[in-house]
Amino acid sequence: MKLVTGNSNRPLAQAVASYLELPLTDCTVKRFADKEVYVEVHENVRGEDVFILQSTSYPANDNLMELLIIADALRRSSARRITAVLPYFGYARQDRKSAPRTPISAKLVSNLITEAGANRVLTLDLHAAQIQGFFDIPTDNLTAAPVMVRDIRDNYDVKNVMVVSPDVGGVVRARNVASRIGASLAIVDKRRPRAGVSEVMNIIGEVEGRTCIMIDDIVDSGGTLVNAAEALLKAGAKEVSAYITHGVLSEGAAERIAASKLKELVVTDSILETDATKAAANIRRMSIDALIGEAIARTASEQSVSSLFD
């Protein structure tokens, strides 16, 4: 088995390699002067089971091209099987035609990964579960719920916790966490007048005096979380925190979270941490290296991956 990484999230790749007690494969991934991506694998991979760990996060197009070119290099080097390990799958929010004459970019990216040479995909908390069907190769969609549940139990009194879905679309994800800790579920009813902007309309559920923990897959601008936290506190919540799998946290988001009434925002390390998120006192990270590492080990040994979440 070989583990290869691009430049999107080397700290996570190194942590996964340590969990697997496996060195990262010696591989050069660099740019030419005109910013074209150049890849050279310096080890023999013929007949090997190779895993490429690469999040397609910001800069999404550069990191996606690294993934595709690494896969092509491995395919042309006669690797036996290539698994694309995507802790964060970029373009996942473009999973349908949201308006006339718009693309379904998640399907296009899925096709590109397959055509580049990937034989299977391992990813984490897809924005929409049906994206698994966009791939014509085996795809495992892991969930960070077990990691979140363990952290919540370590840091909160679960008897007073109310799990909150920040929108109707995330109810299934939030209910999964709530059922694991035996907590009740509330829902924030919001509307989105335009992309990147949300307005809270109602709180569905009794949150007065409760410690509210919002669960979601992606935090980007942070506007939804900040507005929802204010609405929950106005409804009588004791305090509000959030556990989000992918901390996209685009420009200005970390500062917005830091200045908000959120007690803390906990994100995984599926996306490389920025200086802005490091500086935010109420943003904390938890690692998914063991989750990803165990899934890779089970895939390599042809064991069940879904049993990780039973």
- Binding-site residue numbers for Mg(2+) are 127, 167
Q: Are 68 and 103 in contact (CB under 8 A)?
A: no
Q: Are 146 and 125 in contact (CB under 8 A)?
A: no
Residues at the binding site for D-ribose 5-phosphate are 192, 216, 220-224
Q: Are 148 and 174 in contact (CB under 8 A)?
A: no
Residue corresponding to tokens 């902007």: 197
Tell me the Ramachandran region of residue 8: left when phi exceeds 0, alpha when psi lies from -120 to 50, beta otherwise.
alpha
Q: Are 218 and 93 in contact (CB under 8 A)?
A: yes
Residues 117, 143, 266, CA angle at the centre, nearest 5°? Answer: 115
30: annotated active-site residue: no
Taking the C-alpha atoms of residue 211 and residue 262, their distance in angstroms, rounded to an integer, is: 11
Q: What is the 3-state secondary structure (H, E, C) of 140-162?
A: EEECCHHHHHHHHHHHCCHHHEE
**Chain centroid, CA 151 distance in Å:** 17
Residues at the binding site are 34-36, 93-94, 127, 167, 192, 216, 220-224
Q: Are 37 and 62 in contact (CB under 8 A)?
A: yes
User: How large is the angle between the packed helices 289-300 and 10-20, nearest 10 degrees?
Assistant: 60
The catalytic residue among 107, 190, 238, 261 is 190
Handedness of CA 56, 57, 63, 65 (dihedral sign): positive
Q: Are 81 and 49 in contact (CB under 8 A)?
A: yes
Residues at the binding site for ATP are 34-36, 93-94
Taking the C-alpha atoms of residue 266 and residue 271, their distance in angstroms, rounded to an integer, is: 13
Handedness of CA 240, 167, 244, 146 (dihedral sign): positive
Active-site positions? 190
